[in-house]
Structure 1
Amino acid sequence: PNRLYSPHTVVLRQSGHCFELATVLCSLLIGFGYDAYVVSGYATQDVCLKIMTRVDSPFPPEEEEKEEEVKHVLDAKYMLRPAKDLRSKFLLAMAQREVDRANAEKEKQTELERQQIAELEKPPFDELYGLRVHAWVLLLPGERYVEAATFIEPSTGTPHPLNSLLYCGIESIWNNNNYWVNLQDCSAGLEKLGYDFSNLEKWEHFLIGEPLKWREAKFSEEMEEDEIQLLTIMDEKHLDMPSPWSLRISIPHSILKQRFPQGVKKTWYKRTMTEQFAPYVQEDGLVTRICRYNDLECTPSELHTIEERFENRTDSLVKTISDIDTGDITEYFERGREDGVKKHSYKCGHNSTVEAVRVIEFYHEARYDGLTKLELDAMYLTEHYVEREDRIYYRHVNFAKRGEPPPGMIEGPRRIVVKIVEKYHRNEKKPASKDIAVREFAIIDREIHLKHHYEEGKVTASTRDFVKPPLAEMGEALRFNPNLTVGYQAEVGAKPPRQLQLFLLFEQQLEEEEQTLYHIREMEDQVLEFLKLRNYETAYPKLSVSLFDREHNIEHTKGLREREQKEKEHKEREVEDEVDYLAPYISRLGNPAKLTLTQAQQARDWCLLEFKQMLVDRANDIQQQFEYVTTRLQEKQNWYVTVQDTLRLDEETRYFDEVNESTFLLNTLEIRLVRHRDLSPYRYEALETFLMIDPRLRVLYK
């Protein structure tokens, strides 16, 4: 290259050609004690132009761990002997031959498809193959536990073995000690080269002498360290050089936190497109977006999965995966939420009703009830528990189909419970005949079925069935009819239970049935509150800022002080649990106890109209900031062109810092504007959903 910026300047600019990047990487590696060298040679077109479309993505799809079923192997002593095989061995051999032939044909077809895919993924013919100049880094073993020589591509930071086909030849190698010219033939591959730079038949050094670590220095044992150091310097002094013109490498904390040039990086890999953002660049905390495609061209119609990763979210959201083909959306949360949610799976567009298909998993250690998984559907609700004191681990609720209530029942806002099934673990403190294993509440049939645990060594379990008396007899003074219960005792010779025991058991089951029905309604309300909260968190995402984050904590501290001042002025409002977004609009109507259809429609229209206007004002504000920063940057660049030759080093450094800061701000504003434009329809839809489930506007949806 005709110019080579210093590593410090390259770090500040966050850009450079391959020689500059290789010099930066090599300098840092040498500073950390590695035996590193800058390599000047030739590479393929993909490496020189940084074409990553034939490289596997570093973000492969994560496969969920499946629990392996433990197979219990019985003792061979007690196993039955298999029946004698009377089948024809000739027929079996012929059948196996057909199976082997089909498998061979299948493997042949698979190999053919693999070869076709490899041919499609093969890079096109390059007329300049072996002539494209490139620079990379060579890491030799011997220092910092490096076991084998390795190439490192500076543009990606990816290590490659010496036999990699990406690099075609080496012209020269250098580091802070010397410059070596390659005298070997590279046609057989770079792994065949010898990397012993002291061998003059393979490498010609440019400067006189060799590094001190390559030779054995002999000094008198009586000499002091200062004398040895002075003699070493004088022996190695072959020419006088001026002081280094470049500054010491210093990476500012702001540049380090920025991670990528201008805070954003977009890369196309094989069947994958990734967008990476620095923290706090996106207002919703997005740091990585991964789009996976079915074809190599990554056409929009072949998009099948979108994975987004987040950081610093106050709602503990860390990742979302959207399956375009099936419409499935899965949200992953880290520990820290009050509701203890770990994973939330649902269908696209079904994020506001408890009657849609969804699965919610929890960190059961963070919940008082030990709930670990909740499955919902229009027809059922299933709860899974662990480590409960009452030893329940499963509860399944069946509901009647909407629009088809059971005979004699009227359908209301809530679904009609048809049946409840509960399962319990064994309690060793109770006899098996009194320890319930499965309990079923048949609500429609007005029956209760109990099945107890198996006694050790028994093949049957005790059961007890109750039939509820008519509703007219279900008063305060419940009368027990022995004809309405039937049971089976697995223990031979056991006395039948007395009527008082059966009456107390029946009364207990009725109470627990009522408590279970109340729990089911409460669970539905909790899910509805969770969905309402998730809609709010999606419409208004918030990010947490660490107290030690100096770059972002100034604004946070200022906002905190303003918030404290407002709280002092409005102490009477501190008791409110949550913000009531409809309160200002209902107040305009005179705060009626119940809204009429016209009033509810007017309050909803006011709320949506002002929210829409707020989105427009925010977009205009970002656009004005972008235009102002653009004008200032253009003026600064014109000034630099005028006075470039008269600037001092510190003034030029200050200019580069201001330009980098302005460019980063411009890119951030552009990303925010695009992100705001893309998310505005979803936030508006989330607000509509938020208003749809508000009980005060229920009159609009009857």
Structure 2
Amino acid sequence: MTTLKPPTEEMISPVMSHMMVKDEGSQTRLPKISIQEISRLSSATRFEDEKHESIENFEPEEVVSKVTTLFSGEDVHSVRSSDEAEMAQQCLSSVEWIFDTSTTDVGAIDLAFPENLDPKFKEVECLPLSYFTLNAKERLLLAFAENFRRQFVVSPEYAGRRPLVLAPKNECGVQKFVCTTIKPTPFLIPKIIGSWEECASFVADFIIYEPLENPLQLPPRLISPDTLLRQRRGNCYEMATLLCSMLTGAGFAAMVVSGCATIETTLNDQRRVPCPFVPEDPVLEPESPAPMNKNKYELRGPPDLRSKFMVELEEKALQKELEEEERRLQEERDKSEELAKRPPDRFFGRRMHAWVAIIENAPWCYKPRPKVYNDEGEEIIPDPTAFFIEPSTGFRHETSSPKYLRIESIWNQHNYYINRQEPTENLLADMRWDLKNTDHWEHFLPAEPFELRVGESRDQDLEPGNQATLLVEKHLDILPSWVQKLRISLKDFESRFPNEEKSIYYKKALYQRYAPYFCYDGLMKRLTIFGDLDYQKPLKRWEWYENRMDYLNLIKIDFETKQIEESFIQGRKDCLKYFSHNAEPHQPKTFYFFDHPRLDCLRMMQVMPEKYVFHYNNREDLCYYQEFQTKPKERIRCHAKSLMEITEKFNRNEKVPVNKDIAIRQFQLTHGKIFLQFQYAADAITASTREFLKPPKPDYGEEIIFDPLQTNGYNANPLENPPTQAELYFLLLDQLKREETLKKIFEKRCTEYEELLNRRKNEMLNPRLEFSVFDPLRNEGARRIRLEEYEEERIRKEIAKLQDPDFLAPYLVLYERRKPNFEESWAAYNACLSDLKSRYTNLLNELQRRYEDLTSEARALKKFMSRFQDQFDDFDYDRLIKEAKNIELNKRMVQQRLILTHEEAQRKYEKVKESLLGDERLHLRKAAAFN
């Protein structure tokens, strides 16, 4: 196993020897500023030169073969056209970085450590000092990183590997180590706290993704996450660094991954990816009554007299036709998928990309780990696993995803690791994520983080015997991030999309999202499914709404059938839940309601050209179905006169006998008949029925004449007595009353239906939005009103404190427009004093009552103790003595308050009396003197 070593003392340049510092023990430490280049790279250079000279003498076919050999496991397509020489030259130029000796300097760190004294990045001049300067520890860390990179280049184990991303230039043109660019920051936004989905979605929505200028080379820069949040435009490495900073601050063990990915991933091309946001349509069916138990006396169906042989032949022929149709459809699907495929990528496996990996069960993560037990029931520590997050989309991908082809290195705020595992046939699915294993991961700093040290724990730091070891151990660690604290305002988090809207093209789908209150109708999301790859033939569309006063939530449009479905959240006055209708006029319409808040328990309403159907739930009369049939010519006009037939259905009422419990009631208005079907009895195969012919309507004031010949019925149980004429007469009267009631209900339903359609039409033409009073971004007006009311109340209280109390104001309300005369003034005077006197009288009476109650209670307790004195133990006796003392104390307090209240009543009565006599609004003193 080859291990990359830190720079030694012999590798330090003599020029930098004067910068060596001494410890207190006069021991030499590593320099704080710089290390010179590694002294000997001649062998590696000769090796690269030999490869370069040998490849120049190859023929085009040999060049392709050599490239295929060098890129083992990569998709390099052979050249078999007439332009073989030109294609081979292009392939050779694309991999020139492998054979050129200049590749040893790819990603090199300038050990002169240049700084930018005039920092400026896209008109941003007020940058912190850490952005364009390097302190001593940063320079030492960069020196170690350069040594680490050079050993990686010359190591035979990593021959042919991509260059390492160690210290790209930041926005100020200063090289910064990638681990220090990560700034773990927690955000006080409720949706982000503890949710990697919200963090990933925010980064993907807030930042505009820019592909690398040259995906075969290292990223030209790596700006800070703080600058990226202000600029809102960056490449995959910058977005991955920002996402890693947010996830780490939220408590996840996130790491930035640098490797190779497919061209669709590097370009963020989703046009060949099925849309993951297609919703599943809820099935809303009318609830049917509970099915009856199967009866053993149920009639059997007619026997099947067909030939079994002919039936088998028909089934085989039908199965063959279905298989042929399925084969034809599969061939069409395969052909369309083949046409939709992207042409082969000659740079497959070499396009650099960065994403984020979250390591589950990581030792340094404080998130709770799932408990895993072995076969013996003992708790064990599970092996670390990982899943990927694509920063450009915010989607989660497993390690077996074909989007990612190779991992070169990973890093976080603690350390940098090189992947030593070769990709298998399953690409990255078989990778091991135990960073303690140095056979799988090469560490930049072997001792960081502390949790990855084998055989050590944090408890050892507190032992006195390890203090000397800790003082001797002075290994290098990652210094804190040079990036200033990340800030995301609530407004930026809410309106996260650039220009407050964003569109993503998926395979035959267009997904559009908008910021809240950006669209005047409250539209938040729109998903359109197309029938072609050119996005010209829409098939279906879903539109999601929020913050609407009509509580509209979702609209689904089917362009083929022209069917429109609207869904609402609970809160409407009409309790509408779902509305389905067609764009064509006079088509069936379906309404679903929240039945619990409605007084009539209406659950569903179906309106068809010649029929109105209503479904109910949990009604007191147990009716669950009503159907009103109208005349064909009256389908536009909704009125009781257009009714032809009314049908009602009921559930079983256990309080009523079966022969009197109506199951189906039907009014045939055109024939003047009333049909009743009663509930099925237990183990019965038929139900009793009754039919009436409606008698002629009597004159005003006369009763209905009942004719027994105008009714007939069937009794399912012959042992029961037939109903009497009186019972039939009252039953007929009840049905006639119910018929008139149903006609009124129908007219009411028609009115409700028309009002509902007009209301929905007005709500769609003039949508209105609302916001909560607790919305900090839009309640400025409400906040200003509340502050004004609070200030007015405060001023009123201050004025009231400075002014004397007005005892006479309640009694002069009747005389606001005129002055009271002498009698009215004396009446107000006497009323005021009478109320004051009665108030204090009631208060004194209440205190006197409480004093008497305490006195009687003390007397009763004293009598009880004297009578049963010998029967108490010490504990009970002390408790009773303490209770007696409390009663005596309360008695004295009430007595003292009674005396003080009496004195206060006398003083206040005289004061109010003097105040009323001197009040100018009554003029009582002048009137008394005049009299």
Normalised to the residue count of structure 1, the TM-score between the two structures is 0.70
- Any conservation in 1 of the 2:501–2:515 contact (CA below 8 Å)? yes
- Any conservation in 1 of the 2:295–2:683 contact (CA below 8 Å)? no
**What is the CA-CA distance between 1:535 and the residue it aligns to?**
2.0
Q: 1:364 to 1:94 in 2, by over 3 A?
A: closer
Matched, 1:8 2:234: no
**Match for residue 177 of structure 1 among 414, 417, 426:** 414
- Any conservation in 2 of the 1:45–1:132 contact (CA below 8 Å)? yes
**Match for residue 760 of structure 2 among 505, 530, 534:** 534
Coordinate RMSD, CA, aligned:
3.8
| Separation of aligned partners in 2, 1:397 and 1:412 | 11
> Residue in 2 aligned with 1:545?
771
| Separation of aligned partners in 1, 2:491 and 2:297 | 72
| Separation of aligned partners in 2, 1:481 and 1:220 | 100
Q: Deviations over 1:376-401 (max 9, x none)?
A: 02211011111111111111111011
- Any conservation in 1 of the 2:508–2:533 contact (CA below 8 Å)? yes
Matched, 1:154 2:399: no
SS at structure 2 position matched to 1:510: helix
- Any conservation in 2 of the 1:44–1:166 contact (CA below 8 Å)? yes
**What is the CA-CA distance between 1:245 and the residue it aligns to?**
2.8
Please give the residue correspondences for 1:439-478 in structure 2 after superposition, counting only pairs within 5 Å. 439-471=665-697, 476-478=702-704
Amino acid at match of 2:507: K
Matched, 1:499 2:725: yes
- Any conservation in 1 of the 2:640–2:746 contact (CA below 8 Å)? no
| Separation of aligned partners in 1, 2:419 and 2:460 | 42
| Separation of aligned partners in 2, 1:544 and 1:478 | 58
Matched, 1:214 2:455: no
Q: Deviations over 1:591-619 (max 9, x none)?
A: xxxxxxxxxxxxxxxxxxxxxxxxxxxxx
SS at structure 2 position matched to 1:268: strand
Q: 1:194 to 1:369 in 2, by over 3 A?
A: closer
Matched, 1:167 2:386: no
> Residue in 1 aligned with 2:238?
20
Matched, 1:376 2:614: no
**What is the CA-CA distance between 1:175 and the residue it aligns to?**
1.6
SS at structure 1 position matched to 2:511: strand
Q: 1:266 to 1:507 in 2, by over 3 A?
A: same
- Any conservation in 1 of the 2:638–2:750 contact (CA below 8 Å)? no
Amino acid at match of 1:533: R
Amino acid at match of 2:451: K
| Separation of aligned partners in 2, 1:429 and 1:544 | 49
> Residue in 2 aligned with 1:392?
623
**What is the CA-CA distance between 1:477 and the residue it aligns to?**
3.0
**What is the CA-CA distance between 1:318 and the residue it aligns to?**
0.7
Matched, 1:348 2:583: yes
> Residue in 1 aligned with 2:23?
none
Matched, 1:320 2:594: no
Identity among equivalent positions (%) equals: 33
SS at structure 1 position matched to 2:272: coil
- Any conservation in 1 of the 2:588–2:609 contact (CA below 8 Å)? yes
Amino acid at match of 1:171: E
| Separation of aligned partners in 1, 2:681 and 2:342 | 69
Q: Deviations over 1:26-56 (max 9, x none)?
A: 2223333433221222221111111111112
Amino acid at match of 2:632: K
| Separation of aligned partners in 1, 2:746 and 2:513 | 43
Q: 1:541 to 1:555 in 2, by over 3 A?
A: farther
Q: Deviations over 1:237-293 (max 9, x none)?
A: 43896x643112332222222233343221111121111112222222211111111
> Residue in 2 aligned with 1:416?
642
Please give the residue correspondences for 1:46-445 in structure 2 after superposition, counting only pairs within 5 Å. 46-65=264-283, 98=317, 101-102=320-321, 104-143=323-362, 144=367, 145=369, 148-183=385-420, 185-186=422-423, 189-197=427-435, 203-207=441-445, 209-216=447-454, 224=462, 232=470, 235-238=473-476, 244-299=481-536, 302-348=537-583, 350=585, 356-402=587-633, 416-445=642-671
Q: 1:372 to 1:225 in 2, by over 3 A?
A: farther
Q: 1:127 to 1:485 in 2, by over 3 A?
A: same
| Separation of aligned partners in 1, 2:627 and 2:621 | 16
**Match for residue 250 of structure 2 among 32, 40, 46:** 32
| Separation of aligned partners in 2, 1:308 and 1:455 | 50
**What is the CA-CA distance between 1:494 and the residue it aligns to?**
4.0
Q: Deviations over 1:610-631 (max 9, x none)?
A: xxxxxxxxxxxxxxxxxxxxxx
| Separation of aligned partners in 2, 1:81 and 1:374 | 35
* Structure whose alpha-carbon radius of gyration is higher: 2
Please give the residue correspondences for 1:546-625 in structure 2 after superposition, counting only pairs within 5 Å. 546-555=772-781, 557=783
Q: Deviations over 1:666-699 (max 9, x none)?
A: xxxxxxxxxxxxxxxxxxxxxxxxxxxxxxxxxx
**What is the CA-CA distance between 1:552 and the residue it aligns to?**
1.3
**What is the CA-CA distance between 1:193 and the residue it aligns to?**
4.8
> Residue in 2 aligned with 1:567?
none
**Most deviating of 121-130 and 263-272:** 121-130
**Match for residue 741 of structure 2 among 498, 507, 515:** 515
Q: 1:320 to 1:232 in 2, by over 3 A?
A: farther
Q: 1:446 to 1:236 in 2, by over 3 A?
A: farther
| Separation of aligned partners in 2, 1:414 and 1:233 | 97
Aligned residues: 550
| Separation of aligned partners in 1, 2:640 and 2:674 | 23
Amino acid at match of 2:757: L
**Most deviating of 72-81 and 306-315:** 72-81
- Any conservation in 2 of the 1:183–1:204 contact (CA below 8 Å)? yes
> Residue in 2 aligned with 1:676?
none
SS at structure 2 position matched to 1:366: coil
- Any conservation in 2 of the 1:322–1:329 contact (CA below 8 Å)? yes
- Any conservation in 1 of the 2:639–2:750 contact (CA below 8 Å)? no
- Any conservation in 2 of the 1:263–1:281 contact (CA below 8 Å)? yes
- Any conservation in 2 of the 1:15–1:261 contact (CA below 8 Å)? no
- Any conservation in 2 of the 1:163–1:190 contact (CA below 8 Å)? yes
- Any conservation in 2 of the 1:12–1:255 contact (CA below 8 Å)? no
Q: Deviations over 1:422-449 (max 9, x none)?
A: 1111222222222211111111222212
Amino acid at match of 2:238: E
Q: 1:94 to 1:268 in 2, by over 3 A?
A: same
- Any conservation in 2 of the 1:208–1:238 contact (CA below 8 Å)? no
- Any conservation in 1 of the 2:409–2:419 contact (CA below 8 Å)? yes
> Residue in 2 aligned with 1:654?
none
Normalised to the residue count of structure 2, the TM-score between the two structures is 0.54
- Any conservation in 2 of the 1:545–1:556 contact (CA below 8 Å)? no
| Separation of aligned partners in 2, 1:404 and 1:202 | 77
SS at structure 2 position matched to 1:149: strand
- Any conservation in 2 of the 1:455–1:461 contact (CA below 8 Å)? yes
**Most deviating of 486-495 and 223-232:** 223-232
| Separation of aligned partners in 2, 1:148 and 1:291 | 37
| Separation of aligned partners in 1, 2:698 and 2:462 | 110
**Most deviating of 497-506 and 518-527:** 497-506
| Separation of aligned partners in 1, 2:403 and 2:451 | 32
**What is the CA-CA distance between 1:95 and the residue it aligns to?**
6.0
SS at structure 2 position matched to 1:162: coil
**What is the CA-CA distance between 1:92 and the residue it aligns to?**
7.0
| Separation of aligned partners in 1, 2:471 and 2:533 | 58
